[in-house]
Structure 1
Amino acid sequence: MKTDLNQDAITKQAANFVARLYSGELSAEEENEIYAWCDQSPQHQQEFDNMLAIWDSSNQLFQTAAPVKKKKHTYWYTGIAASFVCAVLAIWFVALPPSVSTQQVAHNEPNRYHTAVGEISTVGLPDGSIVTLNTNSAIKVDFSGSQRRILLERGEAFFDVAKDATRVFSINTGEKTIRVIGTKFNVRKSDATLKVSVAEGLVAVQSSTLPSSDQIDFEEAETLLPAGSIGAFNGTSEVIAQVTSKEVNASQQWRQGIFRFDNEPLAKVLTEFNRYRLKKITLENQALGKLKISGVFKLKDGDSILSALEAALPVEVERYPEYIELTAKN
């Protein structure tokens, strides 16, 4: 009975968080509270995913049921510095079978895991570590010998590393190797840069050309990133910044299947969305890319941003077989 009561409380809390998330009034402090709560246990994360799945189901029902009028979104803008916030229907407590989840297990081959464009997947490793792969990402796993080795072939991943002082956990990204004992951090690899955001613990970063030992000497580390720091690496250059928990959490908000933008250029927002889309969104000219945008969006509802943009900004949507273009409104 106690277990049932605890489960009921967890489910209700997850529903409250999702309702607040889509209320259009979520504060930065509340967003951090959601991240912290989901990280407390896999059960919390599972129930949060369940509530997001409920939103997907309920949203489809609202769209297909003719007699029901959909709640209108509220948008506003002033000149070229326009911004908007999506107002959505609140979700209250609904029971859902435990098997329902917004995340899937990554496609796997022997010791290799990858996601397609638009997928976010979770992988459990033999040592108890958990890796969440973002869209179009791939890793190879080698736990032979005295080290736990990961090769990040492409994309982005969040690592929740089980602590094991006897076996170093390392991620080879090509030019850099990230080495830890047990910690939580996000790694994003692109053609030009490598970005590492540390949520917990210590992360050592060194050139992949340097030899690796079975132990980590953090005092001798080439680059050391403590919790609350973000490192950006480009060739032989690097920039290290101590940031707030809000900024660290922002680097991993994709794990909850959401985007949050605060007065960001439209060009940057579309670059992020296009990572999850096969049919890309383009801009007619660079001036449109300077328009500012704020809001909270779900990854699964990528096309909802198009109607929002038309309502909030001086743009029109032109659809073509292979892409979508935003043009200046006449």
Structure 2
Amino acid sequence: MRHLAPNLASSGEPDAAEWVARLHNRPNDLSLRRDFDSWLKSDPANKPAFDSAADAWSRIGALSDEPEIRSARAALKADLAADARRRHARPQMRWAAGIAAMVMAGGFGTALWLAATSADHSAPAVAPAQMAEAVYQTGVGERKSITLADGSVATLSTDTVLRVTEWGARRGLTLDRGEAFFQVAKNPQRPFVVTAQGRTVTALGTAFNVRIDPGAWSVSLLEGKIRVADPAAHNSVDLLPGSRLEQHAGATWAVAAADVAALTSWREGSLVFDNQPLSQIVGELNRYSDRKIRIASPRVAATPMSGRFKTGDVGGFVDALSAYGAAKVRTGEGGEIVLVAP
């Protein structure tokens, strides 16, 4: 019997999908049931939203190569592109990703709905007149926006340290660790320069993302034009919108077209993946949470998935994996979440 994948064009109520996943996985948890009853009573719209999500859940089960699954992937990409256009028109708007699909490719292929709502509830901090060595940082799972003295905005991702090192004829900042997105106020007379891993990213007025990982670093460009340079190697390259430069230790620079909106979706509190192994998805989720996930099965680690996932919600993520038989969940030392083969 064929099952239909959920239609991503319907936004629905994100919380409803998360309740379906958790109740499905923990049907005998009385505390969870009490919390769910309270949620139902908190808003008259919650009951029909839950019924709709539960109905879709019951019909999920299509193999990953079915037309509906491919259609769901395409819809997710279109939804993400629409989000990016709305952000460009209204930078401060709050959005809800709605009920997104996670498509698991493999022997058991399923489509899964996960909640992914996020918004910054506090206004961006406004920096005073810049002074050398002004330092901004975030903790694990934290996100912060800083409006610099020239009107440029730096948005810091999880576990990030950014320093203002020069603020005169040149607007200079250094990313010591983590990831940051920059929306640069145009000023041709004052170049905006971000230094990371000894390389510089120079812009006059643009929007770009810089990230440092163990043994690697990358730059992604959303709009405008930037020049990335390595003074020590006397090497430089100009990036155009929709491109990403990445370099791993000991390797040369690699520049390629990229889904930059997906790469920077962390600004809205979500992470977007397209047919990437579970090991990579878990690695990204771990960046945003003190409670880590470890995969103990090579088969589970290699399972490709697509979807939009809420940053920091490791509990909901592993509940969903377990509910659909993608992995079994164990508790390791210090509360570590361990995923093993089902």
When the two structures are superposed, what TM-score results if normalisation uses the length of structure 2?
Answer: 0.69
Output the CA distance in 2 between the equivalents of 1:76 and 1:225: 32
Segments of structure 1 that go 5 or more residues without pairing to the other structure are 1-16, 56-70, 91-98, 212-220
Q: How many residues align?
A: 271
Segments of structure 2 that go 5 or more residues without pairing to the other structure are 1-8, 18-52, 54-71
Q: 1:77 to 1:265 in 2, by over 3 A?
A: closer
Identity %: 28
1:80-95 equivalences in 2 (<5 Å)? 80=107, 82-86=109-113
1:85 shift after superposition:
2.4
> What amino acid does structure 2 have at the position aligned with 1:86?
W
Please give the secondary structure, in 2, of the residue aligned with 1:303: helix
1:178 shift after superposition:
0.7
What is the CA deviation profile of residues 67-115 of structure 1, one whole-angstrom value per residue up to 9, with x for unaligned ones?
xxxx9x998867546443215599xxxxxxxx97178759999610000
Please give the secondary structure, in 2, of the residue aligned with 1:268: helix
- Aligned residue among 318, 324, 328 for 1:312: 324
CA RMSD in angstroms comes to 3.5
Q: 1:177 to 1:84 in 2, by over 3 A?
A: same
Output the CA distance in 2 between the equivalents of 1:41 and 1:165: 24
Q: 1:208 to 1:173 in 2, by over 3 A?
A: farther
1:154 shift after superposition:
0.2
1:58-97 equivalences in 2 (<5 Å)? 80=107, 82-86=109-113
1:41 shift after superposition:
3.0
Q: Who is 2:301 aligned against?
A: 289
C-alpha contact 1:83 1:294 (8 A) present in aligned 2: no
1:241 shift after superposition:
1.2
Please give the secondary structure, in 1, of the residue aligned with 2:232: coil
Please give the secondary structure, in 2, of the residue aligned with 1:42: coil
Output the CA distance in 1 between the equivalents of 2:311 and 2:137: 18
- Aligned residue among 240, 257, 265 for 1:226: 240
Output the CA distance in 1 between the equivalents of 2:158 and 2:127: 12
Output the CA distance in 2 between the equivalents of 1:137 and 1:204: 23
Q: Who is 1:120 aligned against?
A: 143
What is the CA deviation profile of residues 227-271 of structure 1, one whole-angstrom value per residue up to 9, with x for unaligned ones?
12111123461111134xxx1111101111112223221111100
Please give the secondary structure, in 2, of the residue aligned with 1:271: helix
Output the CA distance in 2 between the equivalents of 1:157 and 1:252: 9
Please give the secondary structure, in 1, of the residue aligned with 2:323: helix
Q: Who is 1:101 aligned against?
A: 121
1:176 shift after superposition:
0.8
C-alpha contact 1:84 1:294 (8 A) present in aligned 2: no
Output the CA distance in 2 between the equivalents of 1:188 and 1:75: 25
Output the CA distance in 2 between the equivalents of 1:102 and 1:310: 34
Please give the secondary structure, in 1, of the residue aligned with 2:113: coil
Please give the secondary structure, in 1, of the residue aligned with 2:253: strand
Q: Who is 2:90 aligned against?
A: 41
Please give the secondary structure, in 2, of the residue aligned with 1:182: coil
Output the CA distance in 2 between the equivalents of 1:248 and 1:89: 19
Please give the secondary structure, in 2, of the residue aligned with 1:34: helix
C-alpha contact 1:123 1:132 (8 A) present in aligned 2: yes
When the two structures are superposed, what TM-score results if normalisation uses the length of structure 1?
Answer: 0.72
1:288 shift after superposition:
1.7
